[in-house]
Homo-oligomer: A and B are copies of this chain.
C-alpha cells in the first residue's frame, strides 16, 4: 500500500509508484490534494470520500478527501477484504522530514499508521521542496531500501524514516533523530480590513550539527539517513528519576 501527504498527483508519489510496482501489486490511496504538516491527524468530525482513479495491471489508485492516516486506515478496513497490504510505504515527500519534523510530517504519520497495523512501513522524503524536484536518484535509493526491507522486515512497533539528499548519493546510514527545533515560526500581517493574521514560517535549528550519529549529519554529508521510529512513545529512560515523585 502506497500513500503520501503531497497528494495523489504529486511527482514524488508517482516516482514511488514507478519503483515499487517493479516489486509487486500496489494499492495507492493518497489525499486528493496536499496535506503537508498533518502529522498523525485523523478526520473525526467529517465524512470521508474515496474516488477510484485507476485500476488494473496490479495497480489500483484512489484519491481520498482525508488525511494520510485516514488513507492507511481506509486501505486496510475498506479496500482490502481478502488481502491486507504487506507493506505501507509513504512518500516520496517533496522536502525533508528529519529531526523533530518527524512529529509534524503527514508522510511519517502514514508510515507510523502502517506500523500500528503491524506491517513493515517506511516513509521516504527527498530534501527538495520543489514540485518539480528530480526524483531519479531518489528512486534508486528507494529500491535499495525496499529490497532490504523485503529480506529483513522490521521489528514490530518500529517503522523507518528515510530522508534522501538532493544531489549525488554517497551511501545509506542508520541514524538517530537529531535534536533540533523550528524557530521564529510566524509572520504577522494585516488584512485589507487592518485585522491581524499569521502565516506559519520558521527556520530549523539543529542543536547538534557536528554529531555523526544524527540524520541531519548524514544528509549534510551526502548520505541517505534512515531512522527507526518507535510507535511506543513512552520515555522508558526517565522512569528511575520520575519514581522519586511523591504522588505515586
Contacts and interface: CB of A to CB of B under 8 A. Distances in A.
A38 B234 CA distance: 20
Stoichiometry, as copies per complex, reads 2
A192 interface: no
Interface of A: 34, 36-45, 47-50, 69-70, 73-74, 77-78, 100, 102-104, 109, 112, 116-117, 144-145, 148, 152, 154-155, 157-158, 171-174, 176-177, 179, 181, 184-186, 188-189, 195-200, 227-239, 241-248
A233 B235 contact: no
Contacts of A157: 179, 235
A43 B200 contact: yes
A88 B216 CA distance: 28
Given A73-B186, A74-B186, A100-B116, A40 B39 contact: yes
Contacts of A109: 39
Contacts of A196: 49-50
B200 A73 contact: yes
Contacts of A117: 181
Contact of A247 (B73, B172, B228): B172
B247 A239 contact: no
Given A36-B45, A37-B43, A181-B116, A239 B228 contact: yes
Given A198-B74, A243-B174, A41 B39 contact: yes
A232 to B, nearest CB: 5
